[in-house]
Amino acid sequence: MTATAKLQNPEPTAGTLAVGFRWRAREFFLLLFPVALTALGFYVLQQLEGRVDVERYWPAIVLGVAALVMHLILCWKAPDADEMLLPITLMMNGMGLVMIERLASNFTVRQTSSMIIGMLVCLALTLWNEGPRYAERYRYTLILPGILLLTVGLVLSFVGEGPGRSVLAITDRFGIQPSEPLKLLLVLFLAGFLDFHREKFATVRLTHPFQDRRWLWVFIPLLGMWGISMLLLILQRDLGAALLFFTIFLVLAYLATQRIDYVALSLGFFMLGAFVAYQALSYVATRFEVWLDPWSFNQGAGYQLIQALLAVAHGGVFGQGLGQGFPGFVPVVHSDFILAAIGEEWGLAGILAVIGLYLIFLLRGFYVAMRAPDSFEQLVAAGLTALLCMQALIIMAGSLKLVPLTGITLPFISYGGTSLMTSYALLGMVLRISRDRNLEPV
């Protein structure tokens, strides 16, 4: 299937999407698990001795009701959407809610409201029939909010206390993190761009730059993404976002083009950027050193990692039990380091469950991609799924001292409003694409 083939049949096929109530039985039964887990988690937390907070189960109830409402709306409006993705994400979200209630119960309200907003966004995107067509057709228009977000992010580096700010504070209790929605826009844009220029990528001769000028098209996204990542790295000191952005590009380039040399070249750029950053930016070098030997920095830069490792080790195979560990010693445990708390209280079993959930999401997302009717939707579904998994991988490997630590959230589980809403938006897009699977391939 080529771009030219698609252009001959430009009218979208939205009208043929299935509507009308259909009982999604598999989803219903699967949804019982996250609801039960969350309710059980909150029950256990209430039973803990010496708990001084007001007794509350309502976050669990909110989650249960929201799950039911979402399920019913999907049954009614989008019966064809994938039935496994929602239970998987709700499972992760429920685990996250329980852990946040246990670690920092004053953040539970905010996390729950972010969840509700995220679910609304998710539903809207799932039910928006024209979504994928618009995303493909107006891919350059998508850049505008992207550039705006990026600019806001970069300008943040210069206001106030200098480099390192990544949160745009709207009030002192509410702010957004521009790099979170930006990564979704990037996937959409790159998928459209790579799909449209697929031909060029397939036939360009990189060894003849003067005879074959199509290499300009080929290098613009590479250099652009590389530039954005380096800007984030230098100006905003956001190692996590920079790493993630370039990884997305690598994955999409790998999925969309057949050019192993192009992917290798991009990898080369990645290595170059990493090397330059290590040499020139002291905080990157510090992270490498801390990664190699955190024990030498135990009262400074290595404190977090050591505390996280100790917490994880304390967990053992089955964990200390919910509410029985001491994860409070790990700084920002409710956000970037929530894996350490899960490791301590739920043990190896708990982390394996989390890993399992991400793997199922990956399998399911790629299943959606393979069944997608056109190459653009295929790329978007695969790219979004890969984004979620790569993000989870990077922060999990970082907290377990497999790779240098970077500050990003564990999707659906960590505390963080923008992150949670973005993850739900991602889910919405994948669900929307999953509805197209029964259409005739164009």
Q: Tell me how many degrees the CA angle 393-67-439 measures, rounded to the nearest 5.
A: 75
Q: Site residues for other proteins, window 95-124 (CB under 8 A)?
A: 103-107
To other proteins, the closest distance from the beta carbon of 6 in angstroms equals 13
Which CB sits closer to other proteins, 46 or 121?
46
- Please list every residue from 202 through 221 that binds other proteins, using CB under 8 A: 202
Can you tell me the distance from the alpha carbon of 270 to that of 262, in angstroms, rounded to the nearest whole number? 12
The residue range among 31-39, 118-126, 398-406, 428-436 that interacts with other proteins, by the rule CB under 8 A, is: 398-406
Contacts of 363 (CB under 8 A, 6+ apart): none
Q: Pull the structure tokens for residue 331.
A: 């700084």
Among 95, 290, 420, 430, which residue sits at the site for other proteins (rule: CB under 8 A)?
290
Question: Do 354 and 93 contact (CB within 8 A), yes or no?
Answer: no
- In the complex with other proteins, the residue whose CB is nearer, 129 or 385, is 385
Q: Which residue has the tokens 């301590």?
A: 344
Closest contact distance (angstroms) between CB of 133 and other proteins is: 21
> Cβ of residue 167: shortest distance to other proteins, in angstroms?
6
Q: Would you say 29 or 283 has its CB closer to other proteins?
A: 283
Q: Interaction with other proteins in 141-200: which residues (CB under 8 A)? A: 160-161, 164-167, 169, 172, 175, 198
Closest approach of Cβ 379 to other proteins, in Å?
Answer: 9
C-alpha 53/C-alpha 105 separation (Å) is 8
Q: How far is the CB of 104 from other proteins (least distance, A)?
A: 4
Nearer to other proteins, 37 or 103 (CB): 103
Place of tokens 């036939």: 203
Contact set for other proteins, span 123-152 (CB under 8 A) = none
Residue numbers 296-325 binding other proteins by CB under 8 A: 298-301, 303-304, 307, 309-310, 312-317
Nearest residue (CB) to other proteins, 33 versus 303: 303
Q: Least CB distance from residue 73 to other proteins, whole Å? A: 30
Considering only 218, 369, 380, 430, the residue that binds other proteins (CB under 8 A) is 369
Q: Are 411 and 424 a contacting pair, CB within 8 Å?
A: no
> Which residue in the set 63, 97, 234, 396 belongs to the binding site for other proteins (CB under 8 A)?
396
Toward other proteins, which CB reaches closer, 122 or 256? 256
What's the min distance (Å) between Cβ of 123 and other proteins? Answer: 27
What residues from 24 to 63 belong to the interface with other proteins (CB under 8 A)? none
Name which position in 24, 71, 237, 259 contacts other proteins (CB under 8 A): 237
Question: 144: how many CB neighbours lie within 10 A of its CB?
Answer: 11
Looking at the Cβ atoms of 10 and 160, the one nearer to other proteins is 160
CB of 313 to other proteins, least distance (A): 3
Q: In terms of CB distance, is 127 or 380 closer to other proteins?
A: 380
Binders in 246-275 for other proteins, by CB under 8 A: 251, 254-255, 258
* Residue of 405, 427, 430, 433 that binds other proteins (CB under 8 A): 405
Binding of other proteins by 283 (CB under 8 A): yes
Say how many residues touch other proteins, by CB under 8 A.
Answer: 78
* CA 391/CA 394 separation, integer angstroms: 5
Minimum distance of other proteins from residue 24's CB (angstroms): 25
In the region spanning residues 329 to 368, those forming contacts with other proteins, defined by CB under 8 A, are 329, 331-336, 343, 347-348, 351-352, 355, 358-359, 362-363, 366
